[in-house]
Structure 1
Amino acid sequence: MWHLRHCAPEAAAELVTHPHWQAARIQRFEVQGLLTDLTLVGSPESSATASAINDVISGQDPAVRDPGELARDLLRALGLTAVAAPAVPWPRSAVRAVPRVPPYTRDFALSLDGTWLVTVGRDRLIRVYDLATQSVRRVIEGPYDSLSHCSIAPDGGFFMAGAVGERARAWDAVSGEKRHPFTVGEVWKSVQSPNGTWISYDMRTGTLGNPLTGKRRGTAPRTKGMTQMALSADGGTLAMGNAKGDVSLWDPRSGKRRFQLPRQPAEINRLGLAGNGSWIAIGDLNEIRVLELPSGRARFTLKPGGTTGSTRYAVHANWLAVPDRHRVRIHSTRDGALLSTLDVHRNSILDCRLSPDGKHLMPLGDGELLMVWDTTALVPGNAQSEPLRVWQGARSFKRIESWHVLPLTRLSCAVVRCLWSPKCGPTTTPSGPRRKRSARRRNSPGQVSSDARRR
């Protein structure tokens, strides 16, 4: 509006006083922005509208009052009820907290009990928020100028933060004192599962670690350079992807690769795994693909509109939370059907996360607001999950995941055929095969050997 005011003042005055434009701004809860634009134009019509808005919001804090109720009162006061779009219900009971975070926030993590939050960014500071009061509980100066990752221990005893190419550090959750020793090393990313499994990853060396014990587990060199990670709910499957489009599944306990997917068409922005390992969600700049495992067959594909933040989605057992501009669309993981839409954010959504236990959804808006939602009130029946696929064969396997049965390569198929063939088996005498070949050479051209007759 500032540029329009200085380039075309008449067009700016006409736009600010247009009923449809005012109704849209109010319904997106941008009352303060609307007041700023009305004051900037300074026309008699805009001044009268600003005065009517101030009469409604005077004596109350718009950040505390229900935004849906405030929007309805403003629409009635300005006479815009007829031109306004149908109001989106505000699920007040589903909102746990709406803390305001710095604009340069790069990562955030919620405690397992859902009572406090940690954020890090490009200002060297680590902020601990109390969700009950929506205020900053503690501010800690980090060891590096820019922090890129943070995570909270499953028991809530401490939290860690790290930067690219630097060793991670940990602090006590109660006292805020630095935790010594903390020997997990460099941490590019870390993931958690509801059962308490916590895995960190060092992109430079390609090693996995356990922040609780500080032990590091070496993996193959092909794990270097991975940029995205996802952990199944049972903690038994780790998905890793890189900028080239390579996606592989690993055993986090042994550090061995179990399955390799075909190379994806674009750089991977986010990964998500089903709790039972039956499907994987792969997001890039253009679309989100949900693939069956281990076959790799496409279940469905989502192509949300909006910015590149649309692929910063969150994965639940039965649904995907996909940002679409200032909305969050909830899609079913079975067929991609749209279940519900959250349309309560002011600006574009930059990121969308899910707590490790799946009880809280956290979309981060461009307007420095981090909304913490209760997932049980967002989608009905979301507590149900897909049944685990169990296979029991002749051997004494208690539980075998679906992707343990890997597709056979040509060489492995040939080995299996040879092992099952009655003609193949251990040779008792080394000279046996040589005598058979020499016998075939002594046969005349017109004579059929006994081996040929048997064949």
Structure 2
Amino acid sequence: MDKKKVAVPLVCHGHSRPVVDLFYSPVTPDGFFLISASKDSSPMLRNGETGDWVGTFEGHKGAVWSCCLDTNALRAASGSADFSAKLWDALTGDELHSFEHKHIVRACTFSEDTHLLLTGGVEKILRIFDLNRPDAPPREVDNSPGSIRTVAWLHSDQTILSSCTEIGGVRLWDVRSGKIVQTLETNSPVTSAEVSRDGRYITTADGSTVKFWDANHFGLVKSYDMPCNVESASLEPKFGNKFVAGGEDMWIRVFDFHTGEQTGCNKGHHGPVHCLRFSPEGESYASGSEDGTIRIWQMGPASHDENDSVPGNGTTGKVKVSADDIARKIEGFHITREGETTEKEIATDA
């Protein structure tokens, strides 16, 4: 019985440097997808269910700090230390546009309607790019009190959320006025901020605390002290009854949302955990680490039988991904010989 409780993750190799950001697409007709950002300068796209590598986006010249996919997983975006944010075709891997900045871009995200790209970074300026007119100058929202670490959209793209690298708190900006309308106070800088799928909660990680905020009235709903400094936290999207947190001690802990009781502890990474995100239906979650790997953990009863690794498949409404679907997604994806070699070498070394 004890063996059943040992979580056996899918381990995804390929990055040669620390993995610093993860993002799941919603469920699409081709399944769902996972994009990862790494200090190796090459964001990678994977099948979100199996972790299988789909392709690598090549073109950045510095560490990639942030990555995201649009609603249909047709386009990707990434923010980098090379002073740019890039827009990619997620079907072919081609670079569609490079948005130049004057300093490191730490965060980027698509608007809900997918027409806009929001970026932030060391310049302390939020930029909103119109993807229908990529050559047009962006709208700039400044007066951020510090270097921007995270960004997100709320309230049908009417509100922007941002946190800073050096100072605590989450700032909520009115998009129309460009002004800060609310600040959610925290003692330490917020390293992770996530808006729940139903739009009810904002999940933040700051220092050794995970907090849940009312995303509409901005009050603090719950605050839980963690056993160590945590860098990322994510709320289960379907039922909202569990959350995961990970950080400097290399372990990923599962907690009950209502009580804060720890219900699981997954070990396997060989470096601090930098990012955690639940899959769109909540049946699994992915973790990215200083050790350069991504691990995908199942939420249900752990099993060594591959066929049982995703519990409750018939009831989640999740679209199964066939080999043909993935072949269609990969077809035409630009992958260099060098990228293939790196993938194989790292997989062999492991």
TM-score normalised over the length of structure 2? 0.65
1:254–1:87: structure 2 CA closer, same or farther, 3 Å change rule? farther
Structure 1 counterpart of 2:296, from 367, 372, 375: 372
User: Structure 1: which amino acid aligns with 2:276?
Assistant: R
Structure 2 counterpart of 1:207, from 122, 126, 129: 126
The percentage of counterpart residues that share the same residue type is 14
Alpha-carbon distance, 1:168 to partner: 1.8
Alpha-carbon distance, 1:279 to partner: 4.6
Structure 2 counterpart of 1:107, from 21, 35, 40: 21
Q: How do residues 110-259 of structure 1 correspond to structure 2 at under 5 angstroms?
A: 110-112=24-26, 113=28, 115-130=32-47, 134-164=51-81, 166-179=83-96, 181-183=97-99, 187-192=105-110, 196=114, 199-203=117-121, 204=123, 206-210=125-129, 212-213=131-132, 214=134, 216-222=138-144, 225-232=147-154, 234-242=156-164, 243-252=166-175, 255-259=178-182
Classify the secondary structure of the residue corresponding to 2:288.
strand
Alpha-carbon distance, 1:329 to partner: 2.6
The answer to whether 1:320 aligns with 2:243 is: yes
Q: CA RMSD in A?
A: 4.1
1:378–1:137: structure 2 CA closer, same or farther, 3 Å change rule? closer
Aligned residue in 2 for 1:33: none
Alpha-carbon distance, 1:294 to partner: 7.2
Classify the secondary structure of the residue corresponding to 2:144.
helix
User: Structure 2: which amino acid aligns with 1:87?
Assistant: K
Structure exhibiting the larger radius of gyration computed from Cα positions: 1
Aligned residue in 1 for 2:11: 98
Alpha-carbon distance, 1:134 to partner: 4.8
CA deviation string 1:59-100 (max 9, x = no partner): xxxxxxxxxxxxxxxxxxxxxxxxxx93352578xx7x5321
Asked if the contact 1:290/1:299 (under 8 Å) is kept, the reply is: yes
Structure 1, unpaired ranges of 5+: 1-84, 384-455
Aligned mates of 1:356, 1:210 — CA distance in 2: 27
Higher relative contact order (Cα pairs below 8 Å, separated by 6+ residues): 2
Aligned residue in 2 for 1:86: 2
1:302–1:182: structure 2 CA closer, same or farther, 3 Å change rule? same
Q: How do residues 247-326 of structure 1 correspond to structure 2 at under 5 angstroms?
A: 247-252=170-175, 255-262=178-185, 264-274=186-196, 279-292=201-214, 298-306=220-228, 308=229, 310-317=230-237, 318=240, 319-323=242-246, 325-326=249-250
Aligned mates of 1:239, 1:268 — CA distance in 2: 11
TM-score normalised over the length of structure 1? 0.52
1:148–1:302: structure 2 CA closer, same or farther, 3 Å change rule? same
Asked if the contact 1:233/1:276 (under 8 Å) is kept, the reply is: no
1:378–1:185: structure 2 CA closer, same or farther, 3 Å change rule? farther
User: Structure 2: which amino acid aligns with 1:266?
Assistant: S
Aligned mates of 1:358, 1:192 — CA distance in 2: 20
1:260–1:119: structure 2 CA closer, same or farther, 3 Å change rule? closer
CA deviation string 1:344-387 (max 9, x = no partner): 535455133326846452112455431234668689xxx9xxxx
CA deviation string 1:207-250 (max 9, x = no partner): 33246334633324236632223444855543222222132212
Structure 2, unpaired ranges of 5+: 301-309, 317-350
Structure 2 counterpart of 1:353, from 270, 276, 279: 276
Q: Please identify which structure carries the higher helix content.
A: 1
Alpha-carbon distance, 1:312 to partner: 1.4
1:246–1:343: structure 2 CA closer, same or farther, 3 Å change rule? closer
1:341–1:154: structure 2 CA closer, same or farther, 3 Å change rule? same
1:328–1:192: structure 2 CA closer, same or farther, 3 Å change rule? farther
Aligned mates of 1:90, 1:102 — CA distance in 2: 26
Classify the secondary structure of the residue corresponding to 1:311.
strand
